[in-house]
Amino acid sequence: MLEYLAENLGNYHRITVRDVHTALKISRVYLHMICKSNKGVSARRVINAAIIQKAIEFYYLDSIELKLIADKLGFSDVVSFYHFFKRIAGCNLMNYMDQHENIINAK
């Protein structure tokens, strides 16, 4: 699953649980069971975490502007991406980067 996400995040398509289980040729229930047993969370949460991580990578490593990040991750607009990021990460991307700057700069 993580390999699929790594290869497909950023291809201007919003990845869904259906995309993943179809690509892996397994049922949605089995994908959920795998995620629960290996990660302790649902497939949707694994996908959301990967989207957040990719957004951070685009912003920090590639210096890509928010509009393009939203487009590359398959969001219809920046506002949708902003609300998604805030809902999942607990703050917007800029605040996240400020809060984690010392961790990011240590890498």
Q: Record the pTM.
A: 0.87
Dump pLDDT digits (tens) for 12-49. 999 999 999 999 999 999 999 999 999 999 999 999 99
Mean pLDDT of the chain: 91
Dump pLDDT digits (tens) for 57-69. 999 888 889 999 9
DSSP symbols for the chain: -HHHHHHHTTSSS---HHHHHHHHT--HHHHHHHHHHHHSS-HHHHHHHHHHHHHHHHHHTS---HHHHHHHTT-SSHHHHHHHHHHHHSS-HHHHHHHTHHHHHH-
